[in-house]
Structure 1
Amino acid sequence: MATADLSKQPDQVSAMFDEVARHYDRTNGFLSMGNSALWRHAVVRAIDPQPGERILDIAAGTGTSSAVLARSGARVVAADFSQGMIDVGRTRNPHIEFVQADAMDLPFDDNEFDVVTISFGLRNIKDPRKALAEMYRVLKPGGRLLICEFSTPPAAVVRTGYNAYMRYVMPAVVGATSSNPEAYTYLATSISDWPDQAILSQWIRGAGFTRVGHRNLTAGIVALHRGRKPIASE
């Protein structure tokens, strides 16, 4: 079974997600205790997709979020590095355009999208700041960035409970529901090693985005980060 290490080598990460693709959405539902649907809804509300807008959904997996965004009439491109995820996604969501893509070297033109979004994928990229620069490049001036990612609960009592869940409860759930439990060991470690809200906001500003901010979900276990690609006159 493929398990990526924390060096986040792209071929290892891709192989790991290839193996878990079939049951990925089901396992996530169990692990999040149903919150994954609420987080997805929060992402869609924050993006506020409009008919005719062109949206790039990076690390789209099987296209669950892409399909929700497309219901607005937006033209959604679901990009993922894992061919296994894409294969499952094309079967489940045949109306969505899927593209195999490396987030650090996106196969799109400059200024192509009205919105770029990524949910629970930025921390799995070897160089997330390079990926943020690519997101900036492919956005139109005035375009919107929305990142949904695991984060650091600001309250100590929540952090303690969350860490206990990750250490003791998550392995049991994964063992019962995942086709590759070892992969989720990597995922748990990647969550605990991920920087907090303030540092990610600094990275987003460093890529050139303005109007940067974040909103905590589920007591800060997850955070929505937003930014805009400035218009030249701003």
Structure 2
Amino acid sequence: MTRADLGKDPSQVSAMFDRVAARYDRTNTVLSMGNAPLWRVATTRAVAPKPGERILDVAAGTGTSSASLAASGASVVAADFSPGMIEVGRARQEHVPNLVFVEADATNLPFGDDQFDAVTISFGLRNVNGPEQALAEFLRVTKPGGRLVICEFSQPQAPLIRTGYHAYQRYVMPTLVRLSSSNDDAYDYLNESIDAWPEQPELAALIRSVGYTDVAWRNLTGGIVALHRARKPLA
């Protein structure tokens, strides 16, 4: 049994993701009822990668989102603190020439200041022990005028959707996890971390508090996921 708790001890979270790495992408597709690829497309469009740009994908996991970004011709760094995820990612994405994997902690990135045209993180910020510190690091390594895109689970605003989603989490998801995951217990943490995560306005305020401007968000799938965007000031 390997799972993290809401204390989000980095070693526990890393070990948990090591254990689920092999089936991670398949499990995500199953649990999202097929929406994961759509969320990835929306995130890639929000990042708007261009040939010649340098993009950092934090908590990149097996590099599925990183490969989508690299398809534009941009140079992509896939950073994750789970060695197991990186091992699987390197094997699966070895055909992508402009994609490199780096083991890195989101709260202490091994990059210099003003290095990236865009920084993005998908379904990873809520797993960080110290999301405000991570956001400050994202700001530090982004070039002035550069972009931030965060795709993360959130809370549906419509009462009917929220009720249905919570019922899905409680009654349907456990069965799907048993059928598709290599570590059932790890996905108990998934529900706990989603329920404890700030709603859209609170996350926007946190992003703004570390120095980003032009902060905005839009809901995907009725608010089950929210896409937050921001820019680093030019000066």
Q: TM-score, normalised by structure 2?
A: 0.98
For residues 156 and 56 of structure 1, the distance between their equivalents in structure 2, rounded to whole angstroms, comes to 36
**SS of residue paired to 2:38:** helix
Matched residue, 1:209: 212
Amino acid at match of 1:172: T
For the pair 1:220 / 2:215, whether they are aligned, the reply is: no
Matched residue, 1:30: 30
Q: Tell me, which stretches of 5 or more residues in structure 1 are unaligned?
A: none
For residues 166 and 126 of structure 1, the distance between their equivalents in structure 2, rounded to whole angstroms, comes to 23
**Deviation (angstroms), 1:2:** 1.1
Matched residue, 1:102: 105
For residues 122 and 210 of structure 2, the distance between their equivalents in structure 1, rounded to whole angstroms, comes to 18
Q: Tell me, which stretches of 5 or more residues in structure 2 are unaligned?
A: none
Deviating beyond 2 angstroms after TM superposition, the runs of 4 or more aligned structure 1 residues are none
Equivalent position to 2:127, from 124, 127, 131:
124
**SS of residue paired to 2:185:** helix
TM-superposition CA deviations, 1:51-73 (whole Å, max 9, x none): 01000000000000100110100
Amino acid at match of 1:122: L
Identity of aligned residues (%): 66
Amino acid at match of 2:178: G
Matched residue, 1:43: 43
**SS of residue paired to 2:222:** helix
For residues 26 and 165 of structure 2, the distance between their equivalents in structure 1, rounded to whole angstroms, comes to 21
For residues 43 and 84 of structure 1, the distance between their equivalents in structure 2, rounded to whole angstroms, comes to 24
What root-mean-square deviation, in Å, do the aligned CA atoms of Structure 1 and Structure 2 show?
Answer: 0.5
**SS of residue paired to 1:181:** coil
For the pair 1:147 / 2:136, whether they are aligned, the reply is: no
Amino acid at match of 1:134: E
Matched residue, 2:177: 174
* Match runs of 1:38-117 below 5 Å: 38-94=38-94, 95=96, 96-117=99-120
For residues 34 and 170 of structure 1, the distance between their equivalents in structure 2, rounded to whole angstroms, comes to 13
**Deviation (angstroms), 1:37:** 0.3
For residues 45 and 105 of structure 2, the distance between their equivalents in structure 1, rounded to whole angstroms, comes to 26
**SS of residue paired to 1:110:** coil
For residues 178 and 88 of structure 2, the distance between their equivalents in structure 1, rounded to whole angstroms, comes to 22
**SS of residue paired to 1:142:** strand
Amino acid at match of 1:74: A
* Match runs of 1:189-204 below 5 Å: 189-204=192-207
TM-superposition CA deviations, 1:62-106 (whole Å, max 9, x none): 000100110100000000010000000000001320000000000
For residues 128 and 229 of structure 2, the distance between their equivalents in structure 1, rounded to whole angstroms, comes to 18
**Deviation (angstroms), 1:47:** 1.0
TM-superposition CA deviations, 1:123-146 (whole Å, max 9, x none): 000100000000000000000000
For the pair 1:183 / 2:186, whether they are aligned, the reply is: yes
